[in-house]
Amino acid sequence: MLKPTYPYYLANEPVAANTDLAVTDKVSGEVATRVALASRAG
């Protein structure tokens, strides 16, 4: 079972970004989960 959201890790610490990326199930096309989206600026 997937969690509703996932952080990214920076220096071994979880970081919840302001922007997230929807990960879709390739069979159903529905959003399966969301992951934190890292950027160089953030």
Domain coordinates in residue numbering, the chain: 5-36
**Residue 42 confidence (pLDDT):** 55
Task: Tell me if 38 sits within 8 A of 14, measured CB to CB.
Answer: no
Does the pTM exceed 0.95?
A: no
How many angstroms separate the CA atoms of 37 and 42, rounded?
A: 10
Whether 26 shows a pLDDT value over 60: the answer reads yes
Mean residue pLDDT across the chain: 89
b/e per residue, 17-35, with b = 16+ CB within 10 A? eeebeeeeeeeeeeeebbe
